[in-house]
Amino acid sequence: MTVVIALEGMPCSGKTSALATLVANLRDDCLAFPETNPTPGQLRTLHGLEPQELNKWYLDRELARSLEVDACAHVEKLAAVALDRTWLGALAHSFAMGGGRSSRLFRNALAHYRSALKPRITPPHLTVLFKQTIDLSVKRRALKPIEPASPEWSESGFIAATATFYDEEAHDLLESPVILFQAGLYADFGSLMRALGIAVDSFWGSAEWRAGVDLVPISRLPTPLESKDRHFPDTGQIISDDLIWAYFRSHGRAATLGSPMGATLQYFGRPTQYFGRHALRIAESGKVICWQPHLKDLL
């Protein structure tokens, strides 16, 4: 059976690191869906949208991705399908942006989810809810570039409101079993995978656990975050591929794409590297694209 796992929770709590860990270990046995963030080209189109329109855009993207996940989950060769944030993350954003459960922004987003998404999507088998203190989220977020399209993610008040959502609203909305994962200075992804009930021996054989990213304690993170070469001290990763490096440099760098979260891998037939906000992939044409997996990639 293909296990569908949703990774949700606080900003900078280890969700994308866990996704990179799954990719590094399971390779083509796990299809990993990155966050549904706007591509560099879409950012220009979305600029100036009202918050309600922007939230609807994100939720509609989540619907399209959920339908693709349903199709991919029936491919027998896959051991797991993993999603970095889902519609729940979009609702968390509207909750924090609007100022709580009684805000019009959140009520409209919730109504859109219930009418347009919920009847059409299949809940994941498991949702991993990453929890950490507000203070740690704020500290970790402060070490990352401010996202031009979403500066609110760097504001302590917004992060605190997000924590309120995950503490008070999320459990009532989720239909799948939930595993709480308390993020700290280090994230033990081996323990997390065992908690998910995924048997390491059956999926990985005798291979050693290779963490996609080891989270570095806040006190040891050097600054500035992005050096002039291809090494990124905030994640300990590099951009080794020349085409991906050229795309990264010309499309907003870490502020738009995020820092690299793992190495460039041959993944479902093409060189692919996961970043904090996107997955970059070299298509058959030789062009670098912001990639969301599709069923056709598995066939």
The CATH fold assigned to 3-218 is Rossmann fold (3.40.50)
Buried b / exposed e over 206-225, threshold 16 CB at 10 Å, is eeeeebbbebbeeeebeeee
The proportion of the chain whose per-residue pLDDT surpasses 70, expressed as a percent, equals 84
What is the structure's pLDDT at 274?
A: 96
Residue with tokens 């590297």: 273
* Residues composing the chain: 299
The residue among 112 and 299 whose pLDDT is bigger is 112
Q: Is the pTM above the cut of 0.95?
A: no
Closest to 126 measured CA to CA, from 197, 67, 211:
197
DSSP assignment letter at 102 = T
Domain ranges of the chain: 3-218
Alpha-carbon distance of 79 to 160, in angstroms, equals 36
Write down the residue that tokens 């996961």 correspond to. Answer: 274
What pLDDT, on a 0 to 100 scale, did the predictor assign at position 65?
95
Residues 196-233 pLDDT 10s: 544 334 443 434 433 333 433 323 334 334 445 788 88
Q: What ranges in 73-214 are assigned the alpha helix state H? A: 87-98, 104-112, 134-142, 156-168, 170-173, 189-195, 200-204
- Cα-flanking dihedrals φ and ψ of residue 24, to 5°? -65, -30
Report the candidate in 95, 96, 70 with the shortest Cα–Cα distance to residue 83. 70
Task: Quick: pLDDT tens for 94-148.
Answer: 999 999 999 999 999 999 999 999 999 999 888 889 888 899 888 888 878 777 7
pLDDT in tens, 30-39: 899 999 999 9
Q: What angle do CA 22, 27, 28 make, to 5 degrees?
A: 125
